[in-house]
Structure 1
């Protein structure tokens, strides 16, 4: 018993030490070179003789790392996924510690990526190391995916993994986003579009009245804001309603010209009862109303730019069942949650791959200032993921 306790303490200390090294390698998505942060993990994996390889995107850029532990018996493969690129720092002067600190104060691991998701990356690497010596007795296999193109919105690591002909396709994925009280088993989807609103240009001081592109675009925003969206879908049981937001508005320059173009971005969060088709129809109906009420020489253009389906796993569906069961066995009261924001689980859902998208340590400041992760719960979170993976790999 004492030996087990000492082993657990040593493992926890090792997870934290690796996470600290990762935090101290800045890896802001689209800003920093992510090679150095992956090199830290590669050195750690090489020291333990764990098989791993880099992933590259279509343009040849580095997008992730795969760790693959093959079982000795036939069966399904399962994946643990954590991103190692991070959000930007924002106003560094507003932080009470350096964003790349990696220090520990009052039981909190400090720095960008502590919560999302370098601590999870370190934990998942250790689970792979735990399983490797017993792999011959396990069914299928375990993949650890470390994505360094997640916060860009490109999810290049996940895409390269799914397109890799040498990688076993996962039966399910557990994503290491933080938060102790919930296992995220679903999320709203999204449909996004850019909209170009046109109008004749003119001088702002002219006697001739010109309804400029900005005025037309403002009217379109009002039409979109007034659009009626359905409530939560009682038939499917999906607990959230769809939502429409205008997220960008650009047009004009200076003061003396009414511009001939204004561009909008529209983000619609979708549900099983209001999907991408419904979202696009609603937006195009608002655009048609604009062009009818305030005609212009050129019609308003709608260009769809992204579409992900909503997803929601039943609590009895894997890998949700394994993770919820392992949490209950650890004495935790954890609820299954459907998230409002979309996440990488939506990308996987589009590929027909079930995923959980969150269970981890308590945290503060995610994507904001003073990001930190609480370490007291780390041994329990580690044990939950380890048990969930073992249950899946023993089942075959």
Structure 2
């Protein structure tokens, strides 16, 4: 009889998990069907879907606003679930704004369809990151009945200013005096193979290269701004950057790219101004100061070799530090252990591109920046998310959050595990 009862309990638990995953997918579908392309669409409809769901589940939430200028534009939605015991707060973060569609004619399905085909959720935002947003809302709802037993609290940040590169939701969250400052953040970017525990930083600047203007058909030869800018690009491309340090825990080297060049108009005038954008990806051994020094040295060489009426102007635009969490540092430790317990062979990874984790690192807040379902077409055509792994991904995040909010119980389990290995 006991075996029959136990089998019934397992079946019931399986049915509950199946219903939970189906609910996550339904919410994600509704989010995909509200276009929220960064800088293009109104974010009101997609936020309204989330607010209606959160209200139905009695989860406290509020909008975060960008106070720039006179208009108060929403940049995110913050869910806060306080625990009943003292402790640290942890945050689940997912963006609900998206990349643009690109050439819609190249898609094999409507970008905002939210349909399911061949076990995949279709549409812009399915992978990055509306499915994660729906999952994180459900985790908060699942933990609400047991909140009194939790230490600290759980926040869910739903950002609608991520794909602009401004990370306005995260900035507003950190600047909000009413919000508890998180001890760590888990960002729900997709991909089941890795837990991203670090990333290269960046230093960006716009360079204004000056020259002598004149008629392109004049007998007098002038060195225009475009020619000088082209010489500067060659100097930057030839600049020597250090290789990755084989003895370091950070496996990637720095990288410099000239990403834009603008100057001139028409054909008959040699321009006196050409602007170019420089993006330098930084590492612990080659930080923002090193990137700026390298660019300034190249500019000084240009102004010496090809003098102009005005020296080249350098305007720094953005700077984020690189970051790396050790595998035993929270919240990486909780997420990696939860993945291993779920039978997933997940490895920690240092990412080449920057992400919100870099912004958080600048604030002294550790973050993981990627673990989710497999995907295709992220930021491209035919974006889709594979749903087969969603139950395990959901369970991993849920367990990781419980590990962080129940530190005493998790420490006991870890001690038992070490004892089992020794015996």
Give the Cα–Cα distance (whole angstroms) in 2 for the partners of residues 110 and 159 of structure 1.
30
Give the Cα–Cα distance (whole angstroms) in 2 for the partners of residues 328 and 78 of structure 1.
21
Instruction: Look up the match of 2:62.
Output: 53
Match of 2:181 among 169, 175, 182: 169
2:397 counterpart of 1:388: no
2:17 counterpart of 1:8: yes
Instruction: Look up the match of 1:64.
Output: 76
Match of 2:196 among 184, 187, 190: 184
Distance apart, 1:90 and its partner CA = 0.5
- What TM-score comes out, normalization by structure 1 length? 0.99
Instruction: Look up the match of 1:126.
Output: 138
Instruction: Look up the match of 1:83.
Output: 95
SS in 2 for 1:3: helix
1:1-396 to 2 correspondences below 5 Å: 1-59=10-68, 60-395=72-407
Give the Cα–Cα distance (whole angstroms) in 2 for the partners of residues 148 and 17 of structure 1.
20
Give the Cα–Cα distance (whole angstroms) in 1 for the partners of residues 250 and 33 of structure 2.
40
Cα deviation digits, residues 185-219 of structure 1 (max 9, x gap): 00000000000000110111011111110000000
SS in 2 for 1:390: helix
Superposed CA RMSD:
0.7
With 235-244 and 195-204 compared, the bigger mean Cα shift is at: 235-244
Cα deviation digits, residues 64-122 of structure 1 (max 9, x gap): 00111100000000000000000000010110000001000000100000000000000
Checking the alignment, whether the CA contact within 8 Å between 1:322 and 1:392 is kept in structure 2 is: yes
Checking the alignment, whether the CA contact within 8 Å between 1:249 and 1:264 is kept in structure 2 is: yes
| The structure with more radius of gyration | 2
Distance apart, 1:35 and its partner CA = 1.0
Checking the alignment, whether the CA contact within 8 Å between 1:162 and 1:169 is kept in structure 2 is: yes
Checking the alignment, whether the CA contact within 8 Å between 1:247 and 1:267 is kept in structure 2 is: yes
Give the Cα–Cα distance (whole angstroms) in 1 for the partners of residues 249 and 194 of structure 2.
18
Give the Cα–Cα distance (whole angstroms) in 2 for the partners of residues 336 and 235 of structure 1.
17
Cα deviation digits, residues 249-273 of structure 1 (max 9, x gap): 0000000001000000000000000
Distance apart, 1:235 and its partner CA = 5.0
Gap regions ≥5 residues in structure 2: 1-9, 409-423
